[in-house]
Amino acid sequence: MTTPQAGIFAVGTRTHHHLEFDVDVSVPLDSIAAAIESIVEIGSSNVVVGFGSDLWGRLSTAKPAGLADFTEVSGLDGHVAPSTQHDLWIWVHGTGVDDVLDVATFCTAALSGFASLAVETRCFVYHDSRDLTGFIDGTENPPPPEATEVACIPAGQVGAGGSHVIAQRWVHDLAAFNELEVADQELVIGRRKLDSVAIPEDVRPADAHISRAELLDDEGNERPIYRRSVPYGDVTERGLYFLGFSAERDRFDGMLAQMFGTSEDGLRDHLIDFSTPTTGSYYFAPSMEDIAAISSGR
């Protein structure tokens, strides 16, 4: 029996802090393991730890199938999803800015000397879980009883209980988006703005966001991911820290191919005319047992 990291599924927190680090390859593995152990033992906020492919391969033999670095997606019309792969990602979330900042500061200090902070993104829940475009985000997320099955590698496979993670920071062009009439904004997203009801397929544009972000298998069944995205920003830059968890990494690849127009149908997501990714990394968020194993040297 494996135990996923609880913070992946903890909901109701409104303050989020994402930290991405580059780790010095010359640092002894036991030093890294000791720092991670101190981080996961924090109890005041939800803390989730994810590892890049290379770092996890050095620390553990429990490397799941498909784990790899994020690779750049060069899409239609000059749209690009860049790769900014880092070694270690830490997500802290809680009910207050003060507690979350304290924990994020502790995590950074625990890694000082062998890990450099590459990306720091302070995020928040916006009103009733809306993106800064004004649309509710994560409407199609699986309910709690099904979320673990969607997000976690199943029992019997290497890395069981762990999750593949996608982390991207998207910058919105809200000025351009807000120039659209609400009805036109709804056609870009594929949902009604007020209540998040999906526009019927027979009138929804083929390039609407929800159509391009939904990945289906060869039999027409959805291959879902578990989304935990949150907005970030200030008066100068605003956007979304896109965060997803999956039992299989190639679900992310397929979704991005559909969004950027590199899939077989040659269509792309209209939303990327108004929002641009500036970072992109894949991580592995191991089970608690696999994290404990690296600390014990097994």
Tokens of 73: 């997606």
State the maximum Cα–Cα separation within the chain, in Å, rounded to a whole number: 58
168: β partners: 242
User: What is the residue-wise DSSP string for the chain?
Assistant: -----GGGT-----EEEEEEEEE-TTS-HHHHHHHHHHHHT--SSEEEEEE-HHHHHHH-S---TT------EE-GGG-EE-----SEEEEEEES-HHHHHHHHHHHHHHTTTTEEEEEEEEEE--TTTB-TTSSBS-TTPPPHHHHHHHHSPPTTSTTTT-EEEEEEEEEE-HHHHHTS-HHHHHHHHTB-TTT-PBPPTTTS-TT-HHHHH--B-TTS-B---EE--EEEE-SS-EEEEEEEEESSTHHHHHHHHHHHT-STT----GGGGTEEE---EEEEE--HHHHHHHHTT-
Query: Active-site residues: which are they?
Result: 137
